Every structure is written in C-alpha cells, then in structure tokens.
Amino acid sequence: MKKLLLATTALALSAGLAHAQGVTINGNGRMGLVYTRTAAGVSTTVMENRLRLQFNVAIEADHGLTFGAFVRTQSGMNNGLAYAGALASSRVWVESNGLRLTFGNQDGAIQTRLVGAQTVGYTGGTFVGSSAGMFAIPQGQTSNGLPGPAGPNQRVAVQYQANGYYVHVSHDRAWLGANAGTEIAVGGTFGQFSVMAGYANASGAGYAAGTSISTIAGAYNGGSWGVSAIVARVENTGTNWIIGGNVALGGGTLNGYVGRYVDGVVATNDNTYGLGYSYGLGGGARVAAGIERTNDATRAEVGVAFNF
C-alpha cells in the first residue's frame, strides 16, 4: 500500500510539473538606509527593505496565438512602518505576430516605453526628477493591494512591435468618478540609439482636464558609457527635462543627471539633479549609493539590491 501511495504521489507531481511548464517566478529584493531632508528642513533617516515576487504565465495555443498573465506581490518596510504582502490586480494578454492586447494592471504606454531615465541609488531613485516626472505622472501599474481611483483594473493596451519599431496605446475607462485617459507612445531602436515620443490626453488621478502630456526621449548606448535626455511638457504646469549620462568606473557604473521638475510650488525652485554609483556583486546583486535633490528636497541612500 505504501509503495502504491508513493507511486500515485509521484505521478501526480509529475503531471503537475508538466502542467506548470509555462509558469515562472522572478522578482527582486533590496535593503538599505534612506536619508531625506524636506524643503522645510525636516530630516529623517530610515531603514528600508522590499521584496517583490512576480508570477508569470505563458502558453502557446493554436493559430500562432500566445496567451500570458502576470501578477505581483510586494512587502517590506519603509518610514518605520512594515507592510504585508498582498497580490496586486493582475493583467492578462493575447499576442500574435508582434500584436499584443492586454487587459488589467499594467504601466501605460509612456512608462512602458520610456527611455533615458537615470537609475540613482539602490532603489533606482525617486522617479520624479530622474525621469522628468514620467515615472510618476502618467499611467502606472499598482504594485501592491488595491488600485487607485483612475484604475488600473479598467486599463486596456494595444501594442504592435516589429523590426525594432513599435506603436503602443493604453486607455483607462471612466469609472468610479474618474475620467477616461489615453496614452500613446511610438519609437524604436536604431543601432545604439533609442528614441520615444509620447502623448497623454490627461494625467493624474481622475484625469483632470488641462493635464495633457507631450514627451520626447532619447538615449545612446556606447557600451562603457551612455547619454540620455527627456523633455516633457505638462499642460498648464510647465516643462520638465533632464540630461543624463553614465560611464564605467572602477568596476562599477557612475551615473547622474541635471534638469528641471515643475512642482507648482512658488516657494521652491524647480531644479533637479542626482548622482549615483553602483557596483555589481555577481549573481544579479549590486551595492549602490546615490544622492538627489528636487524642488529643494534632498534624498540620499545606500544599500544592496538583487534580482532573481
């Protein structure tokens, strides 16, 4: 009886593993110290850590169709408070011959296709100054828990990509009191150059009128060095921009940027700049430090991060 049970269990496990061949798990972890000084002069230093687990599913159907899905959970500690992991809303797609249709929790066209942003520190930076606001203002996915008032559960995207070129359109439906919002990005890679042009008819939670975005970005990868630039015009607010670069140094990478981020606060200037250094430890791990200043607020950090 024991041998029969063991044999039955082995067969069940084999069938389960075969069925799960299209499932992969990846993610990233990080830990470090973060110092902030606000424009009002208030300083804090906190321990920070985060773990992301990402579950990916992909299957190949008949007639050249590929189906896939993605869901993420995130947990960690920041500002002295721990937060438990919870599955964010998922996204599901179908793809054929470079054409993909996606429903659900996903970055919008601009964030998905943006080039030229600079990665500062072990967290990747504030994503405000270092991306000219394009990792903070346009449509973005929810990493943990419930979505925001403008989605992204009601988000749909269509993208077509071939020979290094692409057209990407994302749309949020009007729901729960939020207006509809649409983004479009076009661009491609030409040898060592990557370019992108994007437009959003409205931005921010609720997609208020008078908040359209026009942006253009580019990057050049010279191997051991690179340069990049982003310009973004936010309607009725102003123009954000950055010029950045990176260079191999001492076995690691030194990168930085200067630019402008308009926050609409008269009491603070709109200058933004940052400098960071990252050193690879092997196995997808790195140690990094960085400092940034945006709208008279300063942020400095040092820590380690790894991908798996």
What are the C-alpha distances in Å from 126 to residues 44, 111, 120? 16, 14, 8
- Would you give the DSSP letter of residue 129? G
Rounded CA separation 165/162 (Å): 5
What is the predicted pLDDT for the residue at 178? Answer: 79
What is the predicted pLDDT for the residue at 148? Answer: 52
On the question of pLDDT at 213 being above 60, the answer is yes
What are the C-alpha distances in Å from 16 to residues 7, 20, 24, 25? 14, 6, 14, 16
User: Can you read off the two tokens belonging to residue 304?
Assistant: 């380690």
- Would you give the DSSP letter of residue 223? S
Domains defined for the chain, CATH in brackets: 22-307 (2.40.160.10)
What is the predicted pLDDT for the residue at 153? Answer: 66
- Would you give the DSSP letter of residue 179? P
What is the predicted pLDDT for the residue at 143? Answer: 80
Sign for the CA dihedral angle at 132, 263, 184, 139 comes to positive
Percent of the chain with pLDDT over 70: 90
- Can you point out the beta strands (E) in 12-150? 23-37, 43-60, 66-78, 81-87, 91-96, 99-104
Weakest mean pLDDT among 44-58, 166-180, 222-236: 166-180
Rounded CA separation 281/1 (Å): 51
User: Model confidence over 94-149: pLDDT tens digits?
Assistant: 999 999 999 999 999 999 999 999 999 999 988 899 999 999 999 998 887 655 54
DSSP string, 267-308: TS--EEEEEEEEEEEETTEEEEEEEEEETTEEEEEEEEEEE-
Mean confidence (pLDDT) of the chain = 89
On the question of pLDDT at 197 being above 60, the answer is yes
Per-residue pLDDT band for 11 (boundaries 50, 70, 90) equals very low
φ and ψ at 3, to 5 degrees? Answer: -65, -35
Rounded CA separation 284/307 (Å): 5
Rounded CA separation 142/108 (Å): 11
